[in-house]
Structure 1
Amino acid sequence: MNRLRIAFLASNNGTSFRAVYEAIQSDKLDATAVLLVTNKNHSPAFAFAEEHGVPSFHIPTKGVEADADKRLQETLVGYGADLVVLSGYLRKLGPLTLETFKGRILNVHPGLLPKYGGLGMYGRKVHQAVLDNKERSTAATIHLVDAQYDHGLTIATEVVPIDAADDISSLEIRVMEAECVLFVETIRRIIGGQLPLPF
């Protein structure tokens, strides 16, 4: 197949966006990072994209969801995205974008789904809940995106054991590392045809 054209959506740091971008740059993935879209124009992900020559767009969403959905859909189509990767994008996608890219939008979640997903369950809140429940393991989970938070089909999971000495910070670091490795591996499998698009 032709080089996979990947678009990224991020609200803050975009850690997995950076990991995938770096894998592309080091020829570990036969893909192209076609653009980065953020809903926060001062996000570190936006700055990283601009610094590395990835076309970057700020599309605000609060209070203008329908307009943002249309702008996002048109931008993704205009840049010829084959796959849309959410890297800490903390907004729901609208119906135009979801329909146009059905089966081609992936998100990474820092916990097991569905147990530790849903509205308000993101970032350190997930790790706190996992520790509060005295779990022996957690996970990085990649799933398809649909109209509900953390609801779509699970594509890949990497279990992360929890150590007795773990706190939120240490667990966050290890899960984030697992997320990055898992996303790069999942995209490699998509490129290799083991996980054909659309899902």
Structure 2
Amino acid sequence: MEAAAVASSGPGLRCALNPAPNQHRKGARLSLPAKSQQRCAVTCGRLLLRPNARVCTAASASASTVMDSGAGDSGVRRKRLAVFVSGGGSNFRSIHEAVLGGKVNGDVVALVTDKPGCGGAEYARCNGMPVVVFPKSKSAPEGVSTDELLNVLRDLKVDFILLAGYLKLIPGELVKSFPRSMLNIHPSLLPAFGGKGYYGLKVHKAVIASGARYSGPTVHFVDEQFDTGKTLAQRVVPVLANDTPEQLAARVLHEEHQVYVEAVAALCEDRIVWRDDGVPLIRSQTNPNAYT
């Protein structure tokens, strides 16, 4: 990943200065023309993608989805978030609920998915969020290219990208355009049981088969490989003697919903601090000299 600008934040620590929105807005812009917006049909409060629609946007953003973009109680500017999903999006829902509950100093301004019919995309439409299909494929011919996606994210002034069960490898161009600004959550204690092919119940089956006594979710920054970015936060759960993959998955998922929200909250409050060796830490809300 590209090196991010840093500022001194005490001995051995450097605080990342995340690029301002206008720093992301390089190159040609892809505006969202009226015709594209008109492709959305509003039926019973739901936003439905027309067959050829690439970006689905509400005619007017829901007040519960996009709040005041000014500074919050902490004086830190509210961040603009894009969430990527491939399935039901339970972590996406937890993050959105935390936004609505005032626990996250940010707003979800777009949902990106490779499966436009998935539960996460449906939830986004029901809550008035733009839905972007990426990448283009035989099963999703309405999808956009990497360049088009970058232009959409720039037009939406996205600060951070959050992967929440998105199964596609993120293109290097996208990673480099959002240095130290993209998080993922994985259902194991990385670096164990991570990488290509480790997702969903496959992870939990492998954990149980290995005889590991502990597992848990990992929140990490995204690089150009699967599950190899720097770890930001983890939670530990026991692997019980008679666990099934489904039982272990449920125990880990409960922790995912908590640790991801906490990590995103820290990100949006500018509380991520980088050590000189490139390891990210979370600064405590109550004690500026304490880190996790």
| Matching of residue 131 in structure 1 with residue 208 in structure 2 | yes
- Number of residue pairs matched by the alignment: 196
Aligned residue number for residue 17 of structure 1 = 92
| Matching of residue 194 in structure 1 with residue 282 in structure 2 | no
**1:39-78 equivalences in 2 (<5 Å):** 39-62=114-137, 68-78=145-155
**1:1-199 equivalences in 2 (<5 Å):** 1-62=76-137, 68-195=145-272
Give the gaps of 5 or more residues in structure 1: none
Q: Distance in 2 between matches of 1:62 and 1:112?
A: 32
- How far has the Cα of 1:49 moved from its partner? 0.1
* Contact 1:6–1:34 under 8 Å retained in 2: yes
- How far has the Cα of 1:95 moved from its partner? 2.3
- How far has the Cα of 1:192 moved from its partner? 3.1
* Contact 1:69–1:95 under 8 Å retained in 2: no
- How far has the Cα of 1:196 moved from its partner? 5.1
- Normalised TM-score (structure 2): 0.64
Q: Distance in 2 between matches of 1:196 and 1:50?
A: 35
- How far has the Cα of 1:71 moved from its partner? 2.0
- How far has the Cα of 1:29 moved from its partner? 1.5
- How far has the Cα of 1:118 moved from its partner? 0.7
Matched residue type, 1:53:
G
Q: Distance in 2 between matches of 1:81 and 1:193?
A: 15
- Normalised TM-score (structure 1): 0.92
- Range that drifts further, 146-155 or 184-193: 184-193
* Contact 2:81–2:160 under 8 Å retained in 1: yes
Q: Distance in 1 between matches of 2:130 and 2:273?
A: 26
Matched residue type, 2:191:
P
SS in 1 for 2:148: helix
Greater radius of gyration (CA): 2
Matched residue type, 1:148:
Q
Which runs of at least 4 in structure 1 moved beyond 6 Å after TM superposition?
Answer: none
CA RMSD of aligned residues (A): 1.7
Q: 1:116 to 1:61 in 2, by over 3 A?
A: farther
Q: Distance in 2 between matches of 1:159 and 1:117?
A: 16
- How far has the Cα of 1:137 moved from its partner? 0.6
SS in 2 for 1:102: coil
* Contact 1:190–1:196 under 8 Å retained in 2: no
Q: Distance in 2 between matches of 1:128 and 1:182?
A: 22
What are the Cα deviations for residues 53-75 of structure 1, in whole angstroms up to 9, with x where unaligned? 111112234489xx622122112
Q: Distance in 1 between matches of 2:235 and 2:137?
A: 33
Higher relative helix content: 1
Greater relative contact order structure (CA < 8 Å, 6+ sep): 1
